[in-house]
Structure 1
Amino acid sequence: MDTPTALGEFLRTRRAQLQPEDVGLPYHGTRRRVPGLRREELALLAGVSITYYTHLEQGQSTNASDSVLDALARALRLTPDEHAHLLNLARPPRAKRAQSPRPEYARDTTRRLITSMPHVPAVVLDGRNNVLAWNPLGHALLAGHVDIASPDDPAVRPNLTRMLFLDPHTRDLYTDWKSEARVALAALRLVAGRNPQDRALAELIGSLMLQSPDFASLWSKHPVRDCTVGTKNLHHPVVGPLTLDFENLNLTDGTNHRMLLYSAPESSPSDAGLRMLSSLTAASTGARHDSPKPASADAGAGVDADAGGEA
């Protein structure tokens, strides 16, 4: 991601969201060429020169002080997440030699942990929202139409953001897809600001820009929001409507992986739906494990070796 360009885009989108009267400036009713605050108005509010602010917005200044950035955040009325994003964009890390990222895998202990929670939908994600592992209920909840073993192969590994924008099954899963898409993209923006040199993340964003007009439109608005807890409204193809609470738990092992867990209030309709899905998933998993194996040629009298066994 081009950090100077992203910084300018972010500042411009936030300027456009404010009117002079919103921040106590006089408005004379004249028609403005562009929506929102002008550069000189924002510079006045932040206490910096118009020349300095223009250079900052154009990516020509990379040494803005904390006091200047804080003043801009106050003038633009940024949220805490947006303020942190501004600091990330204005203070990019030193450029390193680009390297192809190595495939990531969930730790065995993490896999055992989510497997030990059969009644809790659980998914292990990396920083780019690639699915590194899921337990059977997590798979059944989010992507039952996808091969349950796909996270083990980096070449076909599901990515929750890509699926949200490009997979029709995932799009139909969310009752309010537009709201879900805005939240997911806002969280991705925050991650991109923290990791401007992540080549794989930049490739994901670039491919989604090309393949999804919805993604491109939302991305241009530069939404920013951290999303560690919340509620999701789903319409599951098997058990119907579900309102589930979710939590993202960051692992402290230095991998930048996290566990995404879902739950519902006890005895609620969604809890009943989740329990039904858990039972159906357990039955399906047991049926696969208990399916008869093909008979061998010497399995016993009366078996025609050329006929083969029952699959």
Structure 2
Amino acid sequence: MTTPSEPGHHPSEPDPSAIVGERRQLINLAYRLLGSLAEAEDAVQETYTRWYAMPPERQQAVASPGAWLTTVATRVCLDLLGSARVRRERYVGEWIPEPLPDRAEWIGGPGGGHEEPTDPADWVTLDESVNMAFLVVLEAMTPAERVAFILHDVFRYPFPEVAEIVGRTPAACRQLATSARRRVRAAQAPTAPRAGQANLVRHFKEAWEARDIAALVGLLAPDATMTADGGGTVGAVLRPVVGADPIARYVVRIADLAPGLTLLERTVNGRPGLVAQRAGRTATVAAFEVDGGRITRIWAVRNPEKLRPWTEEGRRRAH
């Protein structure tokens, strides 16, 4: 695809607008690879820093700037994934990927009222490759599996191109993606219809507000699991809560300990979820997995560092 040259732009030089235009693709890729919008922003920023640090003659020698940026961003993410394993071993409690709101549900409205997105989260396409269950499965993969799988199965890069990006043979990348695909199939429940999941989440909200333990138990699968992420900065159970009755009693206890808690139905990573606010501040974002007409998994993110796109203060910091 070609674009008209900007004033003062030599035809042999990479088009600046085209370079900047790659940002959406890079943010989408980096978020799926890292499970963190903050880390994705850092990875993309580092990618652009490396591009602009090159002398003009080296930039001109790049046949496909978009491919160059994708390659560098992926390699930056690979490095971050390696170091993230060490950091997450020291993480207080369970680590859950950073939740994202639907663009229309951000505080301040889509893009803060601007025609072009102003919040980095506005660049992330919400589809099944970013639902919370999928991202959690990705966390169990090796960095190489995750990269090969995301590049090939999600972004449709052919294996020869994946091999060039990650520095392995096409056959090795094919094996990595196959292994990752098996993990996804083994771990993920069938995707529940959105309307049915929304109804279950709504009934869960109503039962939670009513402190109705029996109703909550009826909505949860007997072996349901609830995982909370406080990051050691706010109160949260450090280990998963397993079983319908223990989960029901736990969420009712939370409601009793936090009077004035407001529950809102919101889209979390493209699927129906809940946001808990207290005094107008987002305290928890909960994502759900549904199978067989029951809630099987709940991921409750409470770490304030991961709730930036959901808060007014976070939007101001992003600008």
TM-score by length of structure 1 reads 0.22
Q: Which has the larger radius of gyration?
A: 1
More helix by share: 2
Q: Bigger relative contact order, structure 1 or 2, given CA contacts below 8 A and separation 6+? A: 2
The structure with more strand, counted as a fraction of residues: 2
The two structures have a TM-score, normalised by structure 2, of 0.21
